[in-house]
Amino acid sequence: MFFEVFPLIGYQVKCIFVNFIGQNTVLKRVTKYLIILLVVFGTQLKATHIVGGEIYYDKLAGNNYKITLKVYRDCFNGLPPLDNPAFISIFDKNSVLLDTIRLPLLSQNNVPPSINNPCIQTPGGVCVEEGIYEGIINLPPRNGGYYVVYQRCCRNNSILNIVSPGATGATYWEHIPGPEVVVNNSSPRFNKFPPIFICNGIPIKFDHAATDPDGDVLVYSLCAPYEGLDNCCPIVPTASPMFSCTGPGFCQYNNPPPYNPIQFISPYSGTFPMSSNPAINVNSTTGFLNGVPDIDGQWVVGVCVQEFRGATLIGTHYRDFQFNVVTCSISVLAQFNEQSTPISIGGNPFPNQYCSGMSIQFNNNSINGNNYLWNFGDPTTLGDTSQLTNPIYTYPDTGAYLVTLIANPGKPCADTTTKTYYVYPPLAPTLSAPPPQCITGNSFNFNVGGVFAPSYTTFNWNFGASALPVTSTLQSPNGVTYSAAGVFPLSVIVQQKMCQKTLKDTVEVYPVAVADFVADSVTLCNPASVTFTNNSVSGGTPIYLWEYSDGGSSSETSPTHVFTPAGVYDVTLTIISVAGCIDTTKFVVPGMVTVSPLPTADFSLTPTETSIYEPDINFFDASISSVSWNYNFGDGGSSSSQNPMYSYTKPGEYSIVQTVVNQFGCEDTAVRVVKIVPEFAFWIPNSFTPGNKDGKNDIFMPSVFGVEKYLFEIYDRWGECIFRTRDTPTGWDGTYLNKPCQQDVYVWMITFYNIVTKREEVHYGHVTLLK
C-alpha cells in the first residue's frame, strides 16, 4: 500500500489507498477514519462570516510599530472560530511583498448586544464576536511607506446591499507613510463599535468618532468597504487550495494593493449604503453617525477618517461593519419636529425655514410619552421651560438655540432628545419686474418689496452683461440701461442675517421695428398657393398689413395667399408698432411671385368598348402645350408615349388617366373610360398520341377562355388521380410520376367559375391515350 497527503485549508489529512486486493478489513477501517477526518476538518472549508473590522498602528521607538487588528464575526453563522494566528502581509509602495507575519489572538469576546435606544428591549438572533490581535514589527524608513494588510472571506449571505455577499470577503489595510510625508506617526482608531442592532424608523445617533494619538485633525466620511478573499481562498496561508485559485501566491499570502471596493446593488453605494430617510450620514468634523433606517435587514457600511497634519494628508483610516436593522418594540421615545438641515456650513447662509420669526411652534412626535419637559435653550432666562405637549416659545434675540425634550421625566424609562433651532426674523421679499421699454432711450427702475428687516438686510442684484451697471447692492436701483434688445434674466439675492432668498425675473427691451419676410416658393403653377414667413423684428404685439398686387390683403402674422391667373405679382408688408418702439415700417418685393400657366390635358381612345377576345386599345393625344405625357391604364400598366396602344388581359371597366407636363413643369390630367367585355369559350379533344413523339397532338388539354378558379384533373380506371393543374395553359403529357402511362381510356374532370354567367361549372368526360 502507499500514502498520499492532501492539505485542507491549513490542515493535513492522510488518505490511505490500498493497491492490492483482499484487504477489505483494512480498507473499511481506513475509509472510516477518512470520513471522520473529513467531517472534523471539512468545516474549515466554510469561511468566517465577517461583520466588520479595522487595522491600525502605533509608532514605537527604534522603527518598531505595534500593529493592532480587530476582527468582528457572526458567532452564530461563522465557522471556523476566529483565526489564530492572523497572517498579516507587508507590501512596499510598488505592491511588492516584503514579509508575512503572524499576529497572535490576544482576546476574543462577544460584543454586548446593545441597541441605539435604552428604552427599547434588545432583540435576539444576532451574536457578534470581537477578536483582537497585536504584534510588533520593525519597519526601517522607506520612501512610499508600507502597506499592512489582512484579508478574509466571507460575509453573511443575507446582506441586502451588495452583490453576492456570501462570496465577498473583506480587506483591512493601513498605509504607514514614508519619511517624505511624516517621520513619526500613529494612525487613528475608532473609539466604539456600533450597536449590534439599530431600530427601523429610529435615528441611529451613534458617536463614530476616532482618536488620534498625535492629535492630528480628523475628517470623517462614508465610504465603500473593500473586497477580500473569496470561497476559493477563504484564508491565507492555504497549503494547497481546494479549488482552482488564481490569486497571487496561490493563497500563500494576502493580495497586494490596490483593492477593489465591494459591488453595491443599485441604488446603494459607499455614500448611500443602506435604505434610510433621512439618508445615513456622518458629520465630517465630529464623526457623529445619523440617519433613519427604513427597511429591516443586514447592511454593510464603511466609514473613513482622513488624518491631516496641518495641510498635509497623512493617510486614511477605514473600518466597515454590518448594521442589523430590526423592527423594535418601543416603550418610550422622545422626538419633535426638525428644522431643515442647513444648506452649508462654515458661516454660509441657511435655508429660509430659519427665518420664520421669533416665536417658534414645537410639534411633539414622541411615542408613549405621558409627561414632557421642554428646555428651549434661552441663556437669558431660567424660565425657558415648558411642560406642555406642543408649546410655543418666543425668543428674545436671533441666534442658534439648543432645544431639549424629555419624555416621561424622572421615570425609570425616560428618553431625551435635543435639536438645534435657528431663530431669525421673517424673510419674504418680493420682486416685480418693470414693464418693457424701447431700446431707444431705455432706463429701468427696480425695487425689492415684501417682508424683511431693512436694518440688517443686504441686496445683491445682477442685471446681466448687457446692462449698465451689471450689478447693484441697493434695495431700489434706478436708471439701469440696456445696450441691446431682448429678454434678459434678472436676479437679486436678499440676505438677512443667516437667511437668504434669491428672486428671479426677466426684463424685456423692445427692438426698433424692421419688416422682413420670405416665402416658401416664388415660382409656382397656376393657381399658386404661397406661404409667407414673417421674419420682422418688433416689440410688443405689432399690427401687420400684407398687400398683394392681385388686389388681395391679409392681417395675419405669416399668411398664405393663392395667386391666379398666371402672371408676376408684387408683395408688400407694412408693420405698425403700437407699443415700445412706436413706428411704421414697410418692406416691398416687386415681382416676388411668378405664376406659370397650365397645359391642357385631353385624349381620345378607340374602341371605347370591346371584347376580351379583341383587347387592343389605341390612344390619341389631344392635349395643348404639352412636352411630356404619361398614361395610367387602370390595371397597373402605364406608358410615356404620346399615342400608345395597350392590350388588356382581363375584362372590366378601366379609368385611364392622362398626365401631361408643359415647359414650365406644370401639369394637368384628363380621364377617359374603356370597357372590356368578358367572353367564355370551352372545347376539349377526346384523344391524343403522346407516345409517337411526332410533336403533334402530344399534350391533352382543353381550350378554355373567360374562367376563374380553374382546376383540371385526370383519373385512371381505378380512380387514382394521376394529373392535376390550376394553370389553363398547362396540359397532360401522358405520364405519371415521370413514367409513360399505358394506352387506355382515362377520365378527365374540369371545374371553373364562368365569368360571363357568373356560375360555378363542372365538366367531365373520357380521353383515349394512343401509343
Q: What is the pLDDT of residue 667?
A: 95
Q: Give percent of the chain with pLDDT exceeding 70.
A: 88
Listed residue (190, 215, 420, 156) closest to 282, CA to CA:
190
Which triple of cell numbers denotes residue 613? 377576345
Instruction: Tell the residue number behind the cell numbers 418601543, with chain if given.
Output: 330
Distance CA 105, CA 122 (A): 29
- How much is the CA Rg of the chain, to the nearest whole Å? 49
Instruction: Confirm if 181 and 314 have CB atoms less than 8 A apart.
Output: yes
Task: List all residues 6 or more positions away from 650 whose beta carbon is below 8 Å from its beta carbon.
Answer: 612, 635, 676
Element (H, E) at 534: strand 528-534
pLDDT per residue as tens digits for the range 278-322:
999 999 999 999 999 999 999 999 999 999 999 999 999 999 999
Buried b (16+ CB within 10 A) or exposed e, 354-365: bbbeeebebebe
pLDDT per residue as tens digits for the range 209-256:
999 999 999 999 999 999 998 888 888 886 554 445 554 455 788 999
Helices and strands, counts by H and E, the chain = 1, 59
Element (H, E) at 35: helix 24-42
Distance CA 642, CA 620 (A): 7
Task: List all residues 6 or more positions away from 22 whose beta carbon is below 8 Å from its beta carbon.
Answer: none
Distance CA 552, CA 544 (A): 14
Length of the chain: 771
Q: What is the largest CA-CA distance in the chain?
A: 136
Instruction: Confirm if 699 and 691 have CB atoms less than 8 A apart.
Output: no
Q: What is the pLDDT of residue 41?
A: 37
Q: What is the pLDDT of residue 25?
A: 39
Distance CA 441, CA 190 (A): 69
Which triple of cell numbers denotes residue 186? 500613529
- Residue 273, classed as helix, strand or coil, is coil
What is the number of other CB atoms lying within 10 angstroms of the CB of residue 762?
9
Listed residue (170, 167, 102) closest to 136, CA to CA:
102
Listed residue (502, 473, 474) closest to 490, CA to CA:
502
Distance CA 606, CA 43 (A): 104
Q: Please classify residue 637 by burial: count the beta carbons closer than 10 Å to its beta carbon, then call 0-12 exposed, 13-18 middle and 19+ buried.
A: middle
CA distances from 515 to 187, 211, 379, 533 (A): 76, 76, 72, 11
Listed residue (456, 447, 550, 560) closest to 500, CA to CA:
456
Distance CA 416, CA 205 (A): 12
**In the chain, which residues have pLDDT < 50?**
1-46, 241-243, 247-248, 341-350
Measured in whole angstroms, the distance separating CA 476 from the mean position of its chain's CA atoms is 46
Q: How far apart are the first and last CA of the chain?
A: 93
Distance CA 593, CA 400 (A): 76
Distance CA 195, CA 206 (A): 8
Listed residue (119, 117, 110, 129) closest to 52, CA to CA:
129
What is the number of other CB atoms lying within 10 angstroms of the CB of residue 461?
23
pLDDT per residue as tens digits for the range 437-457:
988 889 999 999 998 888 889
Listed residue (333, 325, 285) closest to 301, CA to CA:
325
Which triple of cell numbers denotes residue 443? 432706463
Pairing state between β 543-548 and 50-59: unpaired
Which triple of cell numbers denotes residue 517? 419676410
Distance CA 210, CA 191 (A): 5
Q: What is the pLDDT of residue 521?
A: 67
Instruction: Confirm if 34 and 13 have CB atoms less than 8 A apart.
Output: yes
Pairing state between β 312-326 and 197-199: parallel
Distance CA 679, CA 746 (A): 30
Distance CA 326, CA 294 (A): 9
pLDDT per residue as tens digits for the range 397-429:
888 899 999 999 987 688 999 999 988 888 889
Q: What is the pLDDT of residue 540?
A: 75
Instruction: Confirm if 260 and 229 have CB atoms less than 8 A apart.
Output: no
Buried b (16+ CB within 10 A) or exposed e, 89-106: bbbbeeeebeebeebebe
Listed residue (601, 731, 735, 610) closest to 671, CA to CA:
601
Measured in whole angstroms, the distance separating CA 290 from the mean position of its chain's CA atoms is 29
CA distances from 368 to 199, 329, 334 (A): 16, 11, 9
